[in-house]
A and B are shown apart, each in its own frame.
Chain A
């Protein structure tokens, strides 16, 4: 193993991170990230892991609570890395590392060590270490066994997240892959809902199932940390076995070339739905909008998220709606309806030029108003978002009887309001907080701070606002008050129009800065 060179690369990783602070945006991002990390770390250590440990020991259920906490953390890490993309950014690609005198194994090690040294993974490690130290402090576990168990679990967790990501990536590149992924996600989403009532009715069954889960990494780590000598040894063995299995799967996935989708025809085809859709925007803007529709629709992640957005909306409506009382489904749907309109296009809508790379330069060379690119991109996002509306409303009518036209009006109003407001915010983030991103990446969160705030904030607003209204002013979300929602999309459309016009005026002055940012020179 070429340890000195790998250490040099690790050093380079932090030099590159530090280099980002040379720009104003980089310094702001560093400050905010550092501050948030500090607060989260304190909170996690104080109330999370350590608190859980104290509660577990005091309740005399150390093993059960450790199993629960570690399982939660394990799956949370796998889901957050794969859905939100945190902690999955490889700083060095395989081709970049091939420049150096490193063996294949060294390159793999260097890539994964640099990826693992991500603040996101530190948070999980801190939480798990909090639990381990808490257990040790209260005399429930030995120091070394607790720390070693947590470190092993942490490594297994990273490898597991990587394996899931690698196989999803492969799946996405196969014909029909997004549909298979969608089915899997739906299955996994619906499974807890189906299993939970069964286990609640038969608690003995639940206990028997848990008894047989000792082989799973979080359960094995809990055993290794707190179990008797035999159980602890078994726990360590399971953890090591998982590490070997995941490492082997990861190596296999990385070694096998990904099957590329090959175009069915090698003949040029001029018949394009994008051009037909773009034609609605007139001869001047039509080609521009058609171009952006292609740009959105060819993005693998956008396609997957658009496919997922409607089932996700249905799932969220169902899962939150049934806790809100008799009319809860409708209250939940008032928020989730707008989610369906922007969830798929969100990543590009808040960073329109960030994925164009050198192509951004081309927009500025075209004749006509340079801000046309900004408007066309936003119209494309709006068009794709609006395309979800008929399916959404028909789905509601078909799945949630009885039919009430007032509710349809309210859902439509809410969805349109969300669509316009999200895209209005997207235009501003595109201009003032863009970030160079990788168009083809299926994973990783490459949005700027502003982009993340708008996307995550919009999702939270969509989920929470109707619930708040339901509690504070229940009359406002009843069908009788349908007319009160009608002005909202009109107002939102006005905000959108104003944003587009104002941003269009700012765009020419911002273009050089944007050019430097999206081409990665700042």
Chain B
């Protein structure tokens, strides 16, 4: 069964086309990498899939049900770590996480217990600082904790590993692997192709404007495409999105 299915998803901002007829299927229980250069519509696609944005056209299906922004039942089953983290700066980490937990339907006792465990595991126990005073890496960990606190069935992570220290990344990867082992799905966007290669089972590459150019299995390499052989994700990505050269003599 597909956990995520997009059919001809199109998103326009006024006259600007951000995503064009994107069709994609992500099997349940997989860790899926969604790759593309800057401005290729990755965050817009996640925005449409999580209810942040309304698609201009096309259909989104999550966990076998049609998804719209006004579908609270489905929203409760997904977790999102958005592009800009979506934190409430004046709150303390435990207040923020408890609020998110309560809004996603956890009772007060469960929410508090999970907040305590998450803060402990992610080393965020300093309760003297508000989120605005946290470092970028700590803020990212809080956003990650907010995405998983209600134990969702699909996890959407937009650039999850940037700015986090190696120990934090290792812990998050361990959690994500366990997450998919339980049959849940992870949808990741990242520019770190090595991480995607090591962590994900499948990937899709989009180019501007949100146009799918490749989707496939990345558990085995080399990948054969367009009559060529690619030993890793990076050469395939550069082949599909176009390598850039600029000879700046003064640099």
Question: Which among A270, A358, A364 is the interface contact of B112 at CB below 8 angstroms?
Answer: A270
A439 and B84 in contact, given A294-B95, A364-B51, A365-B52 (Cβ under 8 angstroms): no
**A512 and B53 contact, Cβ closer than 8 Å, known pairs A266-B126, A366-B103, A367-B104:** yes
Q: Does A288 contact B (CB under 8 A)?
A: yes
For A519, the closest partner residue in chain B by CB is B84
Asked if residues B86 and A439 are in contact (CB atoms below 8 Å), the reply is no
Tell whether, in the assembled complex, residue B82 and residue A361 are in contact, meaning their CB atoms are under 8 Å apart. yes
Q: Which residue of A lies closest to B75 (CB)?
A: A367
The reply to whether B127 and A263 contact each other, CB–CB distance below 8 Å, is yes
Q: In the complex, which of the residues A365, A370, A439 contacts B90, with contact meaning CB atoms closer than 8 Å? A: A439
Given the interface pairs A266-B127, A267-B127, A295-B90, the reply to whether A368 lies near B112 with Cβ below 8 Å is no
| B105 contacts A362, C-beta separation under 8 Å | no
Residues of A within 8 Å of B130, CB to CB, are: 298
Q: State in angstroms the CA–CA spacing of A359 and B69 once bound together.
A: 18
A291 interfacial by beta-carbon distance below 8 Å: yes
B138 CB to nearest chain A CB (Å): 15
Least Cβ–Cβ distance between A1 and chain B, in angstroms: 28
Bound complex: CA A369 to CA B73 (Å):
11
Please state if A299 and B90 are interface contacts (CB–CB under 8 Å).
yes
Q: Is the CB of B52 within 8 A of A368?
A: no
With A and B bound together, what is the CA distance between A290 and B96 in angstroms? 11
User: Complex Cα distance A294/B88, Å?
Assistant: 10
Closest to A287 in B: B102
**Contact among B89, B94, B102, B105 with A439 in the assembled complex (CB-CB below 8 Å):** B89
CB-defined contacts of B112 to chain A, threshold 8 Å: 270
B127: which A residues are within 8 A, CB to CB?
Answer: 263, 265-269
Give chain B interface residues in 97-116, CB to chain A under 8 Å. 98-100, 102-105, 112, 116
Interface residues as binary, B51-77 with A (CB distance below 8 Å gives 1, 0 otherwise): 111100000000000000110110110
How many residues of chain B are within 8 Å of chain A by beta carbon?
42
CB nearest neighbor in B for A270? B112
A512–B14 Cα gap in the complex (Å)? 12
Q: Which residues from chain B contact A356 at a C-beta distance below 8 Å?
A: 88
Q: In the docked arrangement, what's the CA distance between A298 and B130, Å? A: 11
User: B80 near A: Cβ within 8 Å?
Assistant: yes
Are A366 and B84 closer than 8 Å at their CB atoms? no
| B73/A359 in contact, CB under 8 A | no
Residues of B within 8 A of A515 (CB): 52
A48 interface contact, C-beta 8 A: no
How many Å from the CB of B45 to the closest CB on chain A?
15
A359 and B87 within 8 A (CB): yes
8 A Cβ contacts from B108-141 to A:
112, 116, 119, 125-130, 132
Asked if A508 lies at the interface with its beta carbon under 8 angstroms from chain B, I say yes
- With A266-B126, A287-B102, A367-B76 already in contact, the answer to whether A359 and B53 are too (CB < 8 A) is no
Whether the Cβ atoms of A265 and B52 lie closer than 8 Å is no
Interchain CB contact (< 8 A) of A367 among B84, B88, B95, B103: B103
Query: Are A362 and B86 in contact (CB-based, < 8 A)?
Result: yes
Q: Within the complex, what minimum Cβ distance (angstroms) separates A513 from chain B?
A: 10
Rounded to whole angstroms, the CA-CA distance of A299 and B88 in the bound complex is: 12
- Per-position binary interface string of chain A over residues 184-219, scored 1 when its CB falls under 8 Å from any chain B CB and 0 otherwise: 000000000000000000000000000000000000
For B87, B112, B125, the residue with the greatest tally of chain A CB atoms inside 10 Å of its CB is B87
B55 to chain A, nearest CB (A): 11
Determine if A321 is an interface residue (Cβ-Cβ < 8 Å).
no
Closest A residue, CB atoms, query B104 = A367
Please give, as numbers and ranges, the residues of chain A lying within 8 Å of B75 by CB-CB distance. 365-368
Q: Does A262 contact B (CB under 8 A)?
A: yes
Residues of chain A contacted by B207 (CB below 8 angstroms)? none
Knowing A270-B112, A361-B82, the reply to whether A370 touches B88 (Cβ < 8 A) is: no
Q: List 12 A-B contacts (CB under 8 A).
A: A265-B128, A291-B99, A358-B85, A361-B82, A362-B88, A362-B146, A369-B70, A370-B69, A439-B90, A508-B70, A512-B53, A519-B84
Knowing that A298-B91, A358-B87, A519-B84 touch, tell me 6 more A-B residue pairs with CB under 8 angstroms. Answer: A263-B127, A268-B94, A365-B50, A367-B105, A369-B72, A515-B52
Q: Which residue numbers of B lie inside 8 Å of A, CB to CB?
A: 50-54, 69-70, 72-73, 75-76, 80, 82, 84-92, 94-95, 98-100, 102-105, 112, 116, 119, 125-130, 132, 146
